[in-house]
């Protein structure tokens, strides 16, 4: 069975209407989680902690979807980069 990894991260956006970070160097990496339920709990805690700032957003990235074993690797990967 494949491992299902989820990354929770967030930061201040340029505008509440766009998912563009104001300063990428200030992105807050909350952590990596082994399942969606745990990641959701971490996401919810950070979202509630920053609820007073309309420009702050947190996201859950499904890291396990980036690499599926049945899908051929990218050219960059095959080149050893």
Q: What is the pLDDT at residue 79?
A: 46
Per-residue pLDDT of the chain (81 residues; tens, 9 = 90+): 567 899 999 999 999 999 999 999 999 999 999 999 999 999 999 999 999 999 999 999 988 877 666 655 555 444 444
**CATH number of 6-78, picked from 3.10.520.10, 3.40.30.10, 1.10.150.120, 3.30.70.2400:** 3.30.70.2400
CB atoms within 10 A of CB 43: 20
Burial of 35 (0-12, 13-18, 19+ CB in 10 A): exposed
Residues contacting 29, CB < 8 A, separation 6+: 7, 8, 9
Q: Output the pTM of the full model.
A: 0.77
């Amino acid at each position: 069975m494949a491992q299902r990894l989820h990354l929770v991260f967030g930061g201040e956006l340029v505008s509440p209407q766009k998912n563009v970070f104001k300063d990428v160097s200030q992105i807050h990496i909350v952590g990596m989680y082994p399942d969606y339920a745990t990641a959701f709990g971490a996401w919810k805690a950070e979202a509630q902690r920053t609820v007073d700032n309309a420009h702050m957003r947190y996201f859950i990235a499904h890291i396990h979807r980036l690499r599926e074993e049945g899908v051929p690797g990218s050219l960059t990967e095959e080149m050893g980069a």
